[in-house]
């Protein structure tokens, strides 16, 4: 089963699982060791400390969360509508596989804001300098004239509608009495719906 996976990898996988669910402060090294099925001392043997291990998990999580959107958003050869589709599809894939990625990242940022100032691989005012931002602005001027809302609203709306159902998953399942299968199906419906809604908003 996990015969071809090294101890080092087993530890990181276990750490990822527990860190993403419980956060840094809520995770005990003993829980990671147990989840990985290894002796507690091996965690420090391979990764020096809980914090070092956490930093690796966090770095990979930030990459999972932001690497794809960074390239899509600045692609000059695709138009606005294709970008919207791409973002939705890419995030849906990522988040269906890692449902608690967003809550993990944002929770850690909220508990330790200063620590993440540098770590997030997105420069100040990243968004306003992207291709998609400019394409959005042109489109808004075209249909709404000069007096249109800040284009950032529409990017936020896009991300909101994609990410929030994952952040609020337990609540959402409860509220609508869905089991896991219903929930996944519900999310998957949004893959086609969200781009339509956003396109509708832009041309409002």
Partner DNA sequence: AATAATTTTAATCATTTGTTTAAAATTATT
Partner DNA sequence: AATAATTTTAAACAAATGATTAAAATTATT
Sequence-distant (6+) residues with CB within 8 A of 187 are 92, 96, 165, 166
Binding mask 51-90 for a copy of itself (x = CB under 8 A): ----------------------------------------
State which residue, 92 or 127, has the beta carbon closest to a copy of itself: 127
From the list DNA, a copy of itself, none, partner contacted by residue 159 (C-beta under 5 to 8 A by kind): a copy of itself
**Nearest alpha carbon to residue 2 among 13, 56, 18:** 13
Per CB under 7 A, does 18 bind DNA?
Answer: no
Pick from 26, 30, 82, 184: which binds a copy of itself (CB under 8 A)?
A: 26
Six-digit token pair at 93?
A: 């894939």
Calpha distance 190→204 (Å, rounded)? 20
Residue 6 exposed, middle or buried by CB count within 10 Å (0-12, 13-18, 19+): exposed
Calpha distance 164→179 (Å, rounded)? 18
Q: Which residues bind a copy of itself (CB under 8 A)?
A: 21-26, 100, 103, 106-107, 109-111, 113, 116, 120, 122, 124-128, 149-150, 152-153, 156-157, 159-161, 163-165, 167-168, 170-172, 174-177, 186, 189-190, 193, 196-197, 200-201, 204
């Amino acid at each position: 089963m996990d015969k071809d996976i090294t101890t080092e990898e087993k530890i990181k996988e276990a750490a990822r699982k527990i860190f993403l669910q419980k956060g840094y402060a809520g995770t005990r090294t003993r829980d990671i060791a147990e989840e990985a099925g290894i002796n507690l001392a091996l965690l420090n043997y391979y990764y020096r400390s809980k914090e070092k291990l956490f930093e690796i998990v966090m770095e990979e999580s930030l990459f999972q969360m932001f690497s794809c959107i960074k390239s899509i958003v600045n692609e000059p050869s695709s138009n606005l509508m294709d970008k919207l589709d791409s973002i939705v599809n890419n995030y849906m894939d990522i988040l269906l596989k890692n449902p608690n990625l967003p809550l993990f990242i944002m929770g850690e940022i909220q508990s330790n804001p200063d620590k993440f100032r540098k770590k997030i691989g997105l420069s100040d005012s990243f968004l306003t300098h992207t291709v998609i931002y400019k394409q959005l602005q042109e489109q808004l001027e075209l249909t709404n004239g000069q007096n249109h809302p800040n284009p950032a609203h529409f990017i936020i709306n896009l991300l909101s509608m994609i990410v929030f159902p994952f952040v609020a998953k337990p609540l959402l399942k409860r509220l609508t009495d869905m089991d896991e299968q219903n929930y996944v199906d519900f999310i998957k419906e949004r893959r086609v719906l969200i781009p339509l809604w956003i396109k509708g908003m832009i041309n409002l």
